[in-house]
Structure 1
Amino acid sequence: MKILYGVQGTGNGHIARARAMSEAFKMHNVQVDFLFSGRAPEKYFSMEAFGDYQTRRGFTFETKKGSVSYTKTALSNNLMQFFKEVTQLDLSSYDLVINDFEPVSAWAARKQKKPCIGISHQNAFRYSVPLKGANWIDKSVIEYFAPAQHHIGLHWYHYDQPILPPIIHTSSEVSDEGDFVLVYLPFEAIEDITDLLFHFNQQPFICYHPDVMESSQVENIELQPLSHGRFQHHLHRCRGVIANGGFELPSEALSLGKKLLLKPLAGQFEQQSNVATLDQLGLATSMDSLDISSVRQWLRDSHVESVTYPDVAKAIAHWVVEGDWNTQARLADKLWQQVDFPSYVSHL
């Protein structure tokens, strides 16, 4: 079997899932080629796991000071270029396209009538799960942005739907917990982040941000450029995580037993829904802005217990290779039976 795996490159969570899936497929006699879109080629980092991967422009969204900018998003995307990329992507040598919300490979698969399996957190919103702030445009994007014949959604709880638990990709590192808090707020201005954290001068922070080019120490804040390996090291050792409302980082933090303070990206229904879901489940604390009082209270909160998730990537890879792709509900039931939530989690 030869697979083209398309990955949405705008968020590092999609790439983290692809790393886990890449390792899982190595256990099978398959060739997996990777294609990424949504980010300038020079902006990708720590991509060794994907070999000779391809990039395309695809589609992306633009932000400004923690909010989606629809004007900048419209101006930065080129519909004619997208159609050209779809038309020129030759899938004749592939048996299957797997897609993590990546539109070029998804639409090329539809155009060339290749089987396509969509595996993404976004696919969970095709089912009856909590939504917050979703309008008809958002629902249309979920429906049409990256079409597939089989849709596998990933979420933190099943809500009696045929969706799967998160794909977790963390290193096997075992280390003692430090006293620092890990901060990853890539959609916020770095000046706004440091202004917030300076108020807690007795608390050390390690902050990763795409605008940081080299490591430096500014008062109680250690600023770090993006690096998958270093970030994983600090994620294992931190006492808590302050982040936006993506899916993969909170999933990794939950599996490691790290408390979470999440600030969703304004105007992005997925992040708003994610944060509301974790808040309702009792698995995270939320704040709508970079709020001093919210951070202060969260720092005082006690430690949390970890959520135990099975090896979802391994199970999906086996399911894909087996070829019986109409058994998604059975796969979901099997995996959710292996999930162990802390006793304080509110099951909705």
Structure 2
Amino acid sequence: MRILYGIVGEGMGHATRSRVAIEHLLARGHTVHIVASHKAHAFLRAHFDVIPNVEVDEIGGLTLHYDANVMKLGKSLLRNLKLAPENLRKSLETYRSIVERRRRPDLVVSDFESFAYLYGRMRRIPVISLDNMQILDRCAHPPEILEGARRDYRIARYAVKAKLPGAYHYLVTSFFFPPVKRPRTTLLPPILRPEILAAERAPGEHVLVYLRAMPLEGLLPVLEAFPEQRFRVYGYDHAEVRGHVSVRPFSQEGFVEDLRTARAVVAGGGFSLMCEAVHLHVPMLAVPIGRQFEQELNARWLAYLGYGDWAKTLSREALTRFLHHLPAHAEAVSTYQRHDNGMLYACLDELLRCVELDEPPPPALKGPHMGTYQGPLLEEERRGRHPKPG
């Protein structure tokens, strides 16, 4: 089967997650054409460069501007307007390349990426959505999670709903599993890279800090107020040691080692690192980027489950509270049931068989999962038709 796989380029978690899924598809004998933007494109091209049956092309994509751990809407808009002509050129070149090769994909997989999704919908090719974002729209969240944030939640939910409507099926990866409220939706455990699956938990005394969107000059004064606690800081382009605070250059091996041996983690609300920490049973203080409710939702669920805490800004008070309650967080997160990527592989294989047999979208999958739709079928599912967007 020929598969067009689109990956959004903002944030590396989409790329590392997609790498795992793509490697499985290749192992099953499928041909994969990857389209991605920005850092995701560079990462995937480097990884798959010499691997047969896979192509990697660059497309245009949106970028976000951050300042002091807050997403700046105005600056992000201006930057994307400036990049729009070049992004359009890249995407059109890739589109023409696909058409000229006359190798129509049999299936599209989209990790919250619009180009591949739109290509599939325009050409009436089934689209599988595989990401974490759809949990905003396709699941029901309890009132305690949304307290004080219903307006932000509604805005984020509508934006996510409009991104990839009418997909053949939605595979939603998560470390929390609220009730599924829409058909054609399956919850899966986090998709984890091999390095994390191979890592063994060995708690040490240091706290791992990764707050890439927060300026170092704003971070260090907070950490220096805790001289009895050692911190290992990642996310900046240099190395230095200030007493009990060690700023380290990024390395995949070093980061995984410091994560598995950390006493705790202080990081943003990004999905991938949070999942890795939860999988390794490392308590976490999440400081989500402002004006990104998806990150705040992750952080709210983290605290709701007792796996850690969250704060809108990193302050001495927030860090003091987190460290004080660390034993309780460690006990709670130790109860999290770890999973490998087996459920993902089984669900992908099941969906690909359905597509190969030209079957209508299944409202629920038969294989193992962490949650699926249990309600009445929509009219389209009862008639065996492809559902309308929604």
TM-score range, shorter chain: 0.7 to 0.9
Displacement of 1:190: 1.7
Q: Distance in 1 between matches of 2:44 and 2:129?
A: 24
> Are the equivalent residues in 1 in contact too, given 2:6–2:110 (CA < 8 A)?
yes
Q: Distance in 2 between matches of 1:328 and 1:287?
A: 38
Which residue number corresponds to residue 273 of structure 1? Answer: 297
Moved more, 235-244 or 155-164: 155-164
Larger Rg: 1 or 2?
2
Q: Which runs of 5+ in 1 are unaligned?
A: 338-348
Question: Cα deviation per residue 1:156-195 (whole Å; 9 max; x = unaligned)?
Answer: 3332214413223324133633211111111211211222
Which residue number corresponds to residue 151 of structure 1? Answer: 170
Q: Specify the SS of the correspondent of 1:323.
A: helix
> Are the equivalent residues in 2 in contact too, given 1:22–1:50 (CA < 8 A)?
no
Displacement of 1:81: 4.3
Which residue number corresponds to residue 224 of structure 2? Answer: 198
Q: Report whether the alignment pairs 1:335 with 2:340.
A: no
Displacement of 1:198: 1.1
Instruction: Give 1:307's match in structure 2, choosing from 329, 336, 350.
Output: 336
Structure 1 residues 75 and 273 mapped into 2: Cα distance closer, same or farther (>3 Å)? same
Structure 1 residues 185 and 202 mapped into 2: Cα distance closer, same or farther (>3 Å)? same
Q: Distance in 2 between matches of 1:176 and 1:158?
A: 27
Question: Cα deviation per residue 1:109-156 (whole Å; 9 max; x = unaligned)?
Answer: 333333221111111112233354526653343123345443222233
Q: Distance in 1 between matches of 2:153 and 2:137?
A: 14
Moved more, 25-34 or 243-252: 25-34
> Are the equivalent residues in 2 in contact too, given 1:4–1:98 (CA < 8 A)?
yes
Question: Cα deviation per residue 1:92-121 (whole Å; 9 max; x = unaligned)?
Answer: 422222111122222233333332211111
User: What amino acid maps onto 2:319 in structure 1?
Assistant: V
Moved more, 155-164 or 241-250: 155-164
Q: Report whether the alignment pairs 1:262 with 2:286.
A: yes
Displacement of 1:287: 1.3
User: What amino acid maps onto 2:281 in structure 1?
Assistant: G
Which residue number corresponds to residue 128 of structure 1? Answer: 139
Q: Distance in 2 between matches of 1:183 and 1:328?
A: 41
Structure 1 residues 174 and 96 mapped into 2: Cα distance closer, same or farther (>3 Å)? same
Displacement of 1:307: 1.7
More helix by share: 2
Which residue number corresponds to residue 384 of structure 2? Answer: none
Instruction: Give 2:214's match in structure 1, choosing from 188, 201, 222.
Output: 188
Q: Distance in 1 between matches of 2:239 and 2:259?
A: 17
> Are the equivalent residues in 2 in contact too, given 1:45–1:226 (CA < 8 A)?
no
Which residue number corresponds to residue 48 of structure 2? Answer: 50
User: What amino acid maps onto 1:335 in structure 2?
Assistant: H
Structure 1 residues 280 and 137 mapped into 2: Cα distance closer, same or farther (>3 Å)? closer
Which residue number corresponds to residue 160 of structure 1? Answer: 179
Structure 1 residues 293 and 314 mapped into 2: Cα distance closer, same or farther (>3 Å)? same
Instruction: Give 2:246's match in structure 1, choosing from 217, 222, 238.
Output: 222
> Are the equivalent residues in 2 in contact too, given 1:36–1:55 (CA < 8 A)?
yes
Q: Specify the SS of the correspondent of 1:10.
A: coil
Displacement of 1:306: 4.7
User: What amino acid maps onto 1:37 in structure 2?
Assistant: S
- Name the count of aligned residue pairs: 332
Q: Please list, as runs of the form range in 1=range in 2, the aligned pairs for 1:58-207 lying within 5 A after superposition.
A: 58-78=61-81, 79-90=84-95, 91-92=98-99, 93=103, 94-130=105-141, 132=149, 133-134=151-152, 137-147=155-165, 148-161=167-180, 162-165=185-188, 166-169=190-193, 170-174=196-200, 176-207=202-233
Which residue number corresponds to residue 386 of structure 2? Answer: none
Q: Distance in 1 between matches of 2:38 and 2:154?
A: 23
Displacement of 1:257: 0.6
Which residue number corresponds to residue 316 of structure 2? Answer: 292
Normalised by the length of structure 2, the TM-score is 0.76
Q: Specify the SS of the correspondent of 1:258.
A: coil
Normalised by the length of structure 1, the TM-score is 0.85
Q: Specify the SS of the correspondent of 1:3.
A: strand
Structure 1 residues 197 and 217 mapped into 2: Cα distance closer, same or farther (>3 Å)? same
Question: Cα deviation per residue 1:58-109 (whole Å; 9 max; x = unaligned)?
Answer: 1122111111101111011134444444433334422222111122222233
Q: Which runs of 5+ in 2 are unaligned?
A: 50-54, 372-390
Q: Say what the alpha-carbon RMSD is for the aligned residues.
A: 2.7
Which residue number corresponds to residue 3 of structure 2? Answer: 3
Structure 1 residues 224 and 23 mapped into 2: Cα distance closer, same or farther (>3 Å)? farther
Moved more, 12-21 or 224-233: 224-233
Which residue number corresponds to residue 378 of structure 2? Answer: none
User: What amino acid maps onto 1:20 in structure 2?
Assistant: V
Q: Specify the SS of the correspondent of 1:242.
A: strand
> Are the equivalent residues in 1 in contact too, given 2:211–2:267 (CA < 8 A)?
yes
Q: Specify the SS of the correspondent of 1:230.
A: helix
> Are the equivalent residues in 2 in contact too, given 1:22–1:49 (CA < 8 A)?
no
Which residue number corresponds to residue 318 of structure 1? Answer: 349
Structure 1 residues 81 and 150 mapped into 2: Cα distance closer, same or farther (>3 Å)? farther
Which residue number corresponds to residue 243 of structure 1? Answer: 267
Question: Cα deviation per residue 1:255-278 (whole Å; 9 max; x = unaligned)?
Answer: 111001111111111111211122
